[in-house]
Structure 1
Amino acid sequence: MTTTEASTNFPALFTPLQVGTHTIQNRIGMSALTRNRATRSYPTELMKEYFVQRARGGNGLIVTDGILITRQGTEWQNAPGIWDEKHISGWKNITDGVHEAGSKIYAQLWHLGRVSHPDAPEQKLAGIPVYAPSAISARGGKFRFLPGQPGYTTPTELDEPTIWKLIGQYKQAAVNAKAAGFDGVELHGANGYLVAQFLDNTSNHRSDQWGGSAENRARFGLEILKVFKEVFGQDVAIRVSPTGGYNDVGMPIGDTIETFSYFLSEADKLGLAYIALVRYSSFFDIEIDGVHRSTKFDALEALRPFIKNARLFLNAEVTPEEGQQYISEGKIDGIMIGFNMVTHPDYANRVKTGKPLDNTPNYQYTQRNLSDEDWYTGYTDYPFAK
């Protein structure tokens, strides 16, 4: 097969797309992943090299690691943040590089809620308890940088003033992201972190306006999206994983459909740039006490009718063939690629030119507790196709 023939295999993937106020060159985005390579929460030159590589690789939209909105709410000592001027400067260095390489970049803004730990270094510096919608600990979990296997702690239930304070911290993080030159912000509403903890009725047992009904459990995430809109206008997005599983969340199918059909329809009415929908993946289907926590169903089929305005990106082991088919059928607007984008910085260019995804993953160096001498290994050294 010649390069010219190969490049016509996926024409739908390589059609430009209007996302919010920006046009991206193709329908392939790099999804947010936790790379954990900041230095005590501050972005580094290594991170710039990583993101710029993937922008140079022809990928239309870059989404950052989860970026912590506040020192309180950290799980790993090397996750990046965006709560002070030094963070802004560090991220500006990265966004400038990505823009020069021809791509767009969104900041994924993040709070871990109950899956932080009081002994995490940044959490201790914050001097604030681990918070969650309800005082219900997540099961499972381990912290590689803490001695032993402490597991998750029972969090402090958020009171009303603190909930609004957190929403204000999300807004300030968006203001900082704007100052850092990001093209938009994506709310991390997936994978059992704080927004998902509010949405899920196994982690949210509140009886006030923030819990109980689907409408009340959706309120926290919707209020954050509203303050993001005040800062970024149309350039606001959200990532959700309705099938649950990871970090001990997951509801029965009826509750799941009720909750996410309401949440996504209301979020969609706000005029978002895109919604990133994480479909079922066995990787996130955590087994606890002999029971799988995921609710296995076709999230795209079930929830697509509730998204009428925002662009829809599908995530979780999506192939180019699926992307081409679903875009052509009008089911989605683009795909988000995670692990394959880590191991193939030129993912989009390889797909376009018919070159194989043949870089071998070095799983040892995907771990989050690397020693100093291993810090640069398995992160920015995956080769481009020749």
Structure 2
Amino acid sequence: MSSLFETYQAGGLNLRNRVVMAPMTRSRAPDDIPNEMGALYYRQRASAGLIISEGTPISREGQGYLFNPGIFGPEQIAGWAKATRAVHERGGTFFAQIWHVGRVSHTSIQIAGKAPVGPSEAPGGKAFGYDDNGRPNMLSASKPRALDTAEVKRIVADFRQGALNAAEAGFDGVEIHAANGYLFEQFLNPGVNDRTDQYGGSRENRCRLVMEVVDECVAALGAHRVGIRLSPHGTLFNMPEYEDNGETYLHLAREIEKRGLAYIHLHDQGGQGMPPLPMDYLRTFRQTYGGNLLLAGNLTQDSAEQMVAEGLIDLPVFGRVYTSNPDLVERMENGWPLADYDPSTFYGGDARGYVDFPTYPEEQARKAREAMIAENQS
């Protein structure tokens, strides 16, 4: 049997298999509150060893996309509780990805039309907000306002509260979203971060915000209930490459390993049209970090099995194929074909392309019924 389908127990994780469902924004939450349809979506996919929720903002300030379920209000906590119960009823493990987009937002989303915030006033990225006609649309992110030092401390506290809110909602843990051009990566990148306080300049200073949030979440929940997502050499949302990039993330790997987190989740942006994560760098990262290592980025079953067998990663993370294959684990384990995903339904909309994809046995039963009806009518 493939190692993907064996139980996995290490570093605080106790999973039924090694298959991880990636965090994926789906923009299906009216008023930014998780609902019953979202709970059904996660329930359908609960045979995964680990589900990581779509990014859930820890504050209104941290939101960059409409219809995105947050984790900062009581109705949101209650809404997420429906999803965690649904996953746990099927024996699944569920982490919340807690998130602040930083500069990747728009004034139409922010309270009272305020500017988004970031380490500096450097703009960049796309947000899903309201256009000049009041219609939801993809828009260039608004020019951000640079956070002052006291405000950075407040964001650290917001993440701690977000972790506590996630625990109240029934999540098994949290994943700190420090990848893909959002707030933490903006602080890490000297091409965006021009600060002169303790959060800018040196490698250690640029990593300070990440590590302060890690420490606060660990203090709130315990290290075994905290993971983090990183994207070394990532260039999404106008993030410039920089000379110190690789070493910055190796520094983070060493500091995170000291704290015994549940895992590091690397995102290879090659599947999104960006330069891919170099394999040599992945090997170096693996040699540097001895904890549970997850990797997402256009993986197939074959490539995932090979990386696990080589010891490059511990847990492979699957994204887009999970949108159209709620029973992805069973399909891969049994050699059943995968259903094609529909990019037109990835973001926004209703049940179509969200909770209406059947399992393979359900699809086969439907075809058998149709064939019987056709035969009886002939």
Q: What TM-score do the two structures reach when normalised by structure 1?
A: 0.88
Larger radius of gyration: 2
- 5 Å-filtered alignment, 1:238-257, equals 238-252=228-242, 254-257=243-246
Cα drift, residue 141 of structure 1:
2.6
2:302 corresponds to which of 311, 314, 321 = 321
240 and 175 in structure 1: CA distance in 2 versus 1, 3 angstrom threshold: same
Is residue 2:302 matched to residue 1:302? no
Instruction: Identify unmatched segments of 5+ residues in structure 1.
Output: 1-7, 286-293
Cα drift, residue 42 of structure 1:
0.7
Cα drift, residue 20 of structure 1:
4.5
Q: Deviations over 1:264-306 (max 9, x none)?
A: 2112211110111112414141xxxxxxxx4752341232122
Alpha-carbon distance in 2 for matches of 1:170, 1:128: 21
Identical residues among aligned pairs (%): 35
Cα drift, residue 196 of structure 1:
1.0
Count, aligned residues: 355
| Aligned counterpart, 1:171 | 160
Contact 1:114–1:152 (CA<8 Å) still a contact in 2? Answer: yes
| Aligned counterpart, 2:374 | none
Secondary structure at the aligned position of 1:115 is classed as coil
2:320 corresponds to which of 311, 335, 339 = 339
Q: Which has the higher contact order (CA 8 A, sep 6+)?
A: 1
Contact 1:261–1:303 (CA<8 Å) still a contact in 2? Answer: yes
Contact 1:257–1:302 (CA<8 Å) still a contact in 2? Answer: no
Q: Deviations over 1:39-80 (max 9, x none)?
A: 21111001000000000xx21101101000001122222001
- 5 Å-filtered alignment, 1:359-378, equals 359-368=339-348, 370=349, 375-378=350-353
Alpha-carbon distance in 2 for matches of 1:49, 1:347: 16
Q: Deviations over 1:84-116 (max 9, x none)?
A: 222111111111110011110000000010011
229 and 284 in structure 1: CA distance in 2 versus 1, 3 angstrom threshold: farther
| Aligned counterpart, 1:136 | 122
Cα drift, residue 211 of structure 1:
1.1
Contact 1:250–1:295 (CA<8 Å) still a contact in 2? Answer: no
Secondary structure at the aligned position of 1:185 is classed as strand
Secondary structure at the aligned position of 1:238 is classed as strand
Secondary structure at the aligned position of 2:249 is classed as helix
- 5 Å-filtered alignment, 1:1-386, equals 8=1, 11-55=2-46, 58-120=47-109, 123-125=110-112, 128-138=114-124, 141=126, 143=128, 145-147=130-132, 151-233=140-222, 234-252=224-242, 254-285=243-274, 294=275, 297-298=278-279, 299-308=281-290, 310-357=291-338, 359-368=339-348, 370=349, 375-386=350-361
Alpha-carbon distance in 1 for matches of 2:163, 2:128: 28
Q: What TM-score do the two structures reach when normalised by structure 2?
A: 0.89
Instruction: Identify unmatched segments of 5+ residues in structure 2.
Output: 362-378
Alpha-carbon distance in 2 for matches of 1:267, 1:161: 24
